[in-house]
Structure 1
C-alpha cells in the first residue's frame, strides 16, 4: 500500500509501527515523505497514493475520490498556527504587506483568512506561498513583512528574533469553543477504510506502548530538529483525537468547513458525506 505523510515527528511517531511491519495483518507500506502543500494538491488532482495526510481545509476538493479516516491526524488545543512579525506591531500593520504562508489550501491559511476577515477586513495584503522551512528566515530578513507558521516553529521562532502577532489557535478556540482541525488522513474510496483505521490505531497504540522504539526513525526525518523539540512536537500534536476524532473532533471539523463555506472561502461540503467511511 502506498502512503504519503510529512516527515514531522507527529506523523513518524504515529506511523512508525505501520511502516516497519509491526502491525499484524497490515500490508507493506511504501512511504512518500511530503510536505502537506504537495499532498493537498496531489489529492485534489487525484494523483496521489492510496493513503495521504492532507489539511482538513483541503477536504472539499478531494471527497469525490477520497474518504476521511477518523484517526491518525492532527487536531487539538493549544497547537494552532502563529502569525509572526519582526518587531512589535499591531493587527493594522498587516495592511498592504507581504505575508508568507505555507500552503494556499492549508488549515493554517484558512484560519488566517477567517481571522483577517474578522480582525483586519480591509487588509489588502499580498499572500506569498513558500515552504514552511523558509518562512521565519524570510520574516527575519525582511523579504516578507509577516509569516504564518506551523509545526515546531511554535517552539523556535524566538531564535529568529521574531514576535508573535497572534496565535490563531487561541483565537479559534475562543471564537468557537472547539479544538483546531489541522491535518487529516484520507484514503481512496476503494480502500477498506475500517481496516485501515484499525491498522492506524494499532500503530499508534504500539508507539505509546514502546515510546523509545521509534526515536531513531523520528530523528532521521526530523530535519535538524533537536530531540527536545521533536518530543514537544509529538506531545502537542499527538493526542486523544489522533486515536479517534470522537464527537468533539467531528464537531470541530464541521465547524471549520461549514463556517469557511458560509464565508465563501471553501466549496460547500455535505457534512454527512464526511462520516460515510466504508
Structure 2
C-alpha cells in the first residue's frame, strides 16, 4: 500500500520506556506516512521514569524508525518536553537531518506555526518537580491497571474503557487546567502574530479556532500515544487530527532496513548526510516575549 504524503506530521507524548506506550501502533502509523517534516513535540522518551528493566524491543524499533526516516531525508525536529528535559542542554543542535530545539516556528503556506511542548504552563512542574514526577509514576501505574482491565474487557467482548479519561473528565480542576492551558497558549500566539499554536503535554488531541479582542488563531494539540494514539497532519493547506483507532489503514510493518539496523548504528546513521543550512521558512524562535505573562525563557521556557 502506498504511503500517504504529508507536508508535516506532529507526534508527542510517546513516553517510550513506560508500560503505557503503544509502540507497535506508532510504528504502524509511521510506516503509513511519508512526511517532508516530522516534529517530535516532547516526551518522546520518558527519561523521568526510564528503567533498564523495561525498554522492550518495540520501543527500540520506534527509535530506529525515527532515525531511519531522518537518514532517508525527512527533516526531524525534536522539541524537548518535561519528561525528556535533559535534552534541553543540546537545544539548537543539528546533526544530519535531526534538530533539537525547545521551540520551533515554521512557515506553512504563508502562515506561521508556533510549536512547543507546553510544560512551561504547568506550575507544578516549574515549582515542585518532585511532585510532578510522583504524579507521573501514579499515572503510569493507572495506565498499567487500565491495560489489564481492557484485556479482560476484550476477552469478554466488551468495549475498551479509559480510567484516566474518566478521572480527568470528572475532576473540575483538571477540566479547568486544560481550559486555562489552551487559552494561555492561544493568547500568547495571537499576541506574537502566529496563525497556529501547536502543543502537546496535556494528552488532549484537539483542533479548534480561538479568538480574542486582539485577533484569532488555530489551536492544535497532537495528543499522545498512551491513551489517545493521535497525531497532527498538515497537507494541502489543511490540518487534521489523526486518530489511529479510527483512521488506521491496513497494517504497516517495520521496514527491512530498520529491522536490521543495529543499535550501534542509531547515531552514526543520522550523520550519513552533511549538515544542511536551514531554509528561510524554518527558524528556531528565540524572541518570544513571555515576561508579561510571568513565563521564563530559561531552560524550562518555551
- TM-score of the aligned structures, taking structure 2 as reference length: 0.29
Q: Which has the higher contact order (CA 8 A, sep 6+)?
A: 1
- TM-score of the aligned structures, taking structure 1 as reference length: 0.31
Higher helix share: 1
Higher strand share: 2
